[in-house]
Amino acid sequence: MPAQFHLSIPVESIEQARAFYVDLIGCTQGRASEHRIDVNFFGHHIVMHLAPDEAVQSVKHFESDGATVSVRHFGAIVDVAQWQALAARLDGKVEFSMPPQTIRQGTVEEQHIMMFPDGCGNIVEFKSIPQSRVFATV
């Protein structure tokens, strides 16, 4: 079995989390209760726990490619067709903290990227970059 990444995150509302991750993003829901929900996040196991106080904690921000982004974020690297489909599906439905764009063009770091809040206290990033360049330095 290939390794799967597991992440546990706080959310302000289980229903908002379900609406965002399952209904909008298209993740498959796994186990759920009134205090948690599991989703298949692009082949990885994300568990969202109802913890409103922790979800709304203030986090640091930094400037990146013309946008102010949250230090605390997570996401997925997908192929360009999937990235484009996600960008189109999210247009008008989320408030992008980094709108869909191509950054660092002409370099080994060139990638399609977008970042946005999930409405539950977390920031999600989707990018598309060839697997051979994910960790490339030159």
The CATH number for 36's domain is: 3.10.180.10
Higher pLDDT, 22 or 56: 22
Kindly state whether residues 64 and 121 are assigned to the same domain. yes
pLDDT at residue number 2? 83
Kindly state whether residues 77 and 125 are assigned to the same domain. yes
Of 7-21, 24-38, 94-108, minimum mean pLDDT range: 94-108
The residue range of the domain holding 5 is 1-52
Kindly state whether residues 16 and 65 are assigned to the same domain. no
Q: Residue 92: pLDDT above 90? A: yes
First and final C-alpha spacing in the chain: 32
pLDDT at residue number 109? 85
Q: CA torsion 35→37→38→40, rounded to 10°? A: -160
CB 115 within 8 A of CB 101: no
Q: What are phi and psi of 74, to 5 degrees?
A: -150, 170
**What CA–CA distance (Å, rounded) separates 87 from 112?**
10
pLDDT per residue as tens digits for the range 33-84: 999 999 999 999 999 999 998 887 766 666 766 666 676 789 999 999 999 9
pLDDT at residue number 136? 83
**What CA–CA distance (Å, rounded) separates 45 from 10?**
14
Q: What are phi and psi of 85, to 5 degrees?
A: -65, -40
Q: What is the mean pLDDT of residues 105-126?
A: 90
Kindly state whether residues 137 and 76 are assigned to the same domain. yes
Closest CA to 37 of 48, 53, 46, 24: 48
